[in-house]
Amino acid sequence: MTLSVCAHRGSPSVLPENTVGSFLQAVEEGADEIELDLRLSADGRLVVMHDATVDRTTDGTGAVAELTLRQLQALDAGGGAWIPSFEEVLDGVGARLQVEIKAPEAAGPLAELLRDRPDDLARISPCCFDPDVVAELVRLFPDAPVGLIASGGSAESLDRAVELGASRVLFGWAGTDRALVEKAQAHGLEFSVWLVNTPEQLRDAQALGVDGFTTDETAVIAAELARI
C-alpha cells in the first residue's frame, strides 16, 4: 500500500516553517501533500501562521489577528522569508494542501476565496481540532476531504468524525492502534497519524495500517520509503 506523505508546515528542519520556500522544499523532497496553518490578519486576509502571535517565528511581537497583512509581511520569518498570504501559497505551490484552520473565523473567508478558484478548491483538504469547526467545514466544503485532528486516537474522536461527516481523521500516536485504524477505514475514513519523523516511526505507522502520515522530515521519510 502506498502511504501518503504530508509535510508538516513544509520542511521545517531545512527552511522556516509555514513559508513558501519551506513548502517548495518539501515538494522537492517528495511530499504528496503540504500541511499549513491558517489565520486571519487584522484586515481580514488569510495568512499562513501556526501560532496566535508572531513572537516565536518572526523578529516581531504581537497577535496575528491584531496586525495587518502589510505589517505581518514586513516581519522577517527567518533567513529573509516572510509570512505568506494564503493566495501566495496557492499561486506558488502546486501541491495538495492540508489546510488547518487555527482561527475559526478563517473558515468562511477560505470558502469565499476558493469559490472562484475551482482548481485550487479541488486540491484542498481543510481540517481542524475543533469538532464545531469541522462541522462548519463539512458544510462549506461538501466535496472536499475534511479532516478532524486530535492529539491522540480515541473511539470517541473517531465516532465524532463519523457523526460530523468528516472524510479523514488525523490522530496523534497516543491511543492509536490497529483496531482504531481499521474501524476508521471500515467507516470509509482515511486515517493519518502524526508525526512520523524517523524510519522506526515509519515502520510503526505501516504496522498500524494507516493511509498516510504527517512528518517534519519529508526527506528522511521519502528516502526510507524508496529503500523499502
Query: Which residues are near ligand G3P by CB under 6 A?
Result: 8, 35, 37, 50, 100, 149, 170, 194, 214
Cell numbers describing residue 93: 505551490
Cα–Cα dist 17/59, whole Å: 14
Q: Does 100 bind Ca ion (CB under 5 A)?
A: yes
Report the alpha-carbon distance of residue 32 to residue 3 in Å, rounded: 9
Task: Judge whether 60 and 54 are in contact, CB under 8 Å.
Answer: yes
Residue number with CB closer to ligand G3P (45 or 50)? 50
Q: 56 vs 227, which CB is nearer to ligand G3P?
A: 56
Provide, rounded to whole angstroms, the least separation between the CB of residue 149 and Ca ion. Answer: 7
Q: How far is the CB of 36 from Ca ion (least distance, A)?
A: 7
29/33 with CB nearer ligand G3P: 33
Joined together, the cell numbers standing for residue 162 give: 463519523
Residue appearing with cell numbers 522506526: 200
Compute and round to an integer the Cα radius of gyration of the chain: 17
User: What is the closest distance, in whole angstroms, from the C-beta atom of residue 192 to Ca ion in the complex?
Assistant: 12
In whole angstroms, how close is the CB of 118 to ligand G3P at the nearest point?
26
Find the shortest distance in angstroms from Cβ 100 to Ca ion: 4
Q: Please check whether residue 54 is in contact with residue 71, taking contact to mean a CB–CB distance below 8 angstroms.
A: no
Beta carbon nearer to Ca ion, 132 or 182: 132
Q: Angle CA(156)–CA(146)–CA(35) in degrees, nearest 5?
A: 105
Which of ligand G3P, Ca ion, none has residue 149 at its interface (CB below 5 to 8 Å by kind)?
A: ligand G3P
**168-172 and 212-215: which strand pairing?**
unpaired
Strands 46-48 and 33-40: antiparallel
Residue span binding Ca ion (CB under 5 A) among the ranges 29-37, 127-135, 156-164, 204-212: 29-37
Tell me how far, at minimum, the Cβ of 217 lies from ligand G3P, in Å.
14
Q: Of the candidates 48, 51, 32, 29, which has an alpha carbon nearest to the alpha carbon of residue 40?
A: 48
Q: Segment 33-52, which members bind Ca ion (CB under 5 A)?
A: 37
How far is it, in rounded angstroms, from Cα 16 to Cα 222?
20
Q: Which residue is nearest to Ca ion (CB)?
A: 100
Please tell me whether residue 190 binds Ca ion under the rule CB under 5 A. no
Whichever of 115 and 151 has its CB closer to Ca ion, that residue is 151
